[in-house]
């Protein structure tokens, strides 16, 4: 689906944000992209969407080079940025002007999603609140039925019922023909939704693994439940210590993505070695 080969990118030649980055993504998965502020998550997503051009290497989507921005490439993907800017149009005229760029656009599904998300379809788009605008774009993006759907911080600005609705909608939107990439800081909003974790750190992808595999190799638990000899990373909280240890006796726990992320960005190479 997506193949990124030795991609380097920076907004100026002096500062590279992504360096010799390699990444392969397949259809049928929901990828969660994590990275610190300024690590280059949005920039990576823009390179995939053909909105930013690498100065070295390339990004291929469905066999086409993203930076060439061919119509056949563009109609196969939808990108929802973190900040959406809505034109002063009604929903109806937005659909009339935009939907025909996406051959598989499903109008009925779009209006169904809007009502599930409780978005007023009669209101002018520029007059909607930030959260409502975002939900409108998520609905539109899903309804395009593109094989690639990229969402940058989709749950930002969503209220609590909308987050629940978002998870329901995304889990039923995944199919074998679709690849969904979500970048997020709100790990807890999405941790049951993501099946494969991507971590962008130090200009490259350092983790690209299914959560199942991570859970088989590492055990996330309180210090009491972990084998003290096998602890790779520990973090104190108010009521005790959370640990990551080597999983030896097949006790599959839930992967604590927040803890794993902290361990990785704090330079815990032991963890990365163990995941390889």
Residues that bind other proteins (CB under 8 A): 29-30, 164, 167-169, 171-172, 174, 192-195, 212, 215, 221, 225, 252-254, 256
Least distance (Å) between residue 252 CB and other proteins: 4
Residue placing its CB nearer to other proteins in the complex, 17 or 189: 189
Least distance (Å) between residue 193 CB and other proteins: 6
Residue placing its CB nearer to other proteins in the complex, 132 or 242: 242
CB 30 within 8 A of CB 38: no
CA distance 113 to 272: 40
Least distance (Å) between residue 49 CB and other proteins: 23
CA distance 35 to 37: 7
CB 173 within 8 A of CB 201: no
CB 57 within 8 A of CB 5: yes
Neighbouring C-beta atoms of residue 238, cutoff 10 Å: 4
Residue placing its CB nearer to other proteins in the complex, 69 or 225: 225
Residue placing its CB nearer to other proteins in the complex, 123 or 195: 195
Max Cα–Cα distance, the chain, nearest Å: 63
Residue placing its CB nearer to other proteins in the complex, 55 or 252: 252
Q: Please give the distance of CA 67 from its chain centroid, rounded to a whole number.
A: 20
Residue placing its CB nearer to other proteins in the complex, 112 or 167: 167
CA distance 78 to 66: 13
CB 38 within 8 A of CB 32: no
Least distance (Å) between residue 87 CB and other proteins: 31
Least distance (Å) between residue 84 CB and other proteins: 23
Give the pair of three-digit tokens for residue 136: 């409108």
Least distance (Å) between residue 179 CB and other proteins: 13
Output helix, strand, coil percentages for the chain, rounded to the nearest 5.
Answer: 35, 30, 35
Residue placing its CB nearer to other proteins in the complex, 127 or 168: 168
Least distance (Å) between residue 74 CB and other proteins: 27
> For the chain, where are the alpha helices, taking DSSP H only?
41-48, 71-74, 91-98, 107-116, 130-143, 160-173, 187-190, 211-217, 257-265, 269-275
Phi and psi dihedrals of 33, rounded to 5?
A: -100, 120
Q: For residue 58, what are the β-bridge partners? A: 5
CB 151 within 8 A of CB 1: no
Residue placing its CB nearer to other proteins in the complex, 37 or 172: 172
Least distance (Å) between residue 152 CB and other proteins: 20
């Amino acid at each position: 689906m997506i193949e990124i080969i030795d991609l380097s990118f920076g907004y100026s030649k002096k500062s590279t944000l992504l360096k010799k980055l390699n990444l392969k993504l397949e259809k049928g998965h929901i990828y969660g992209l994590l990275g610190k502020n300024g690590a280059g998550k949005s920039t990576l997503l823009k390179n995939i969407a053909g909105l930013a051009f690498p100065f070295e290497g390339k990004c291929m989507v469905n066999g086409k080079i993203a930076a060439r921005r061919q119509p056949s490439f563009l109609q196969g993907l939808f990108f929802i940025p973190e900040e959406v800017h809505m034109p002063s149009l009604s929903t109806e005229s937005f659909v009339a002007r935009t939907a025909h760029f996406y051959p598989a656009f499903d109008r009925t599904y779009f209006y169904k999603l809007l009502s599930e998300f409780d978005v007023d379809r009669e209101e002018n788009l520029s007059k909607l609140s930030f959260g409502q605008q975002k939900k409108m774009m998520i609905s539109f993006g899903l309804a395009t039925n593109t094989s690639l759907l990229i969402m940058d911080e989709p749950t930002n600005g969503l209220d609590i019922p909308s987050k629940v609705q978002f998870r329901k909608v995304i889990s039923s939107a995944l199919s074998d023909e679709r690849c969904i990439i979500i970048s997020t800081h709100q790990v807890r909003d999405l941790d049951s939704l993501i099946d494969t974790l991507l971590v962008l750190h130090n200009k490259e992808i350092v983790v690209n693994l299914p959560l199942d595999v991570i859970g088989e190799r590492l055990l996330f638990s309180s210090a009491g439940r972990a084998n003290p000899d096998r602890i790779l990373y520990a973090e104190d909280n108010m009521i005790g210590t959370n640990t990551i240890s080597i999983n030896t006796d097949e006790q599959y726990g839930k992967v604590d993505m927040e803890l794993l992320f902290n361990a990785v960005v704090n330079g815990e190479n032991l963890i990365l070695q163990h995941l390889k």
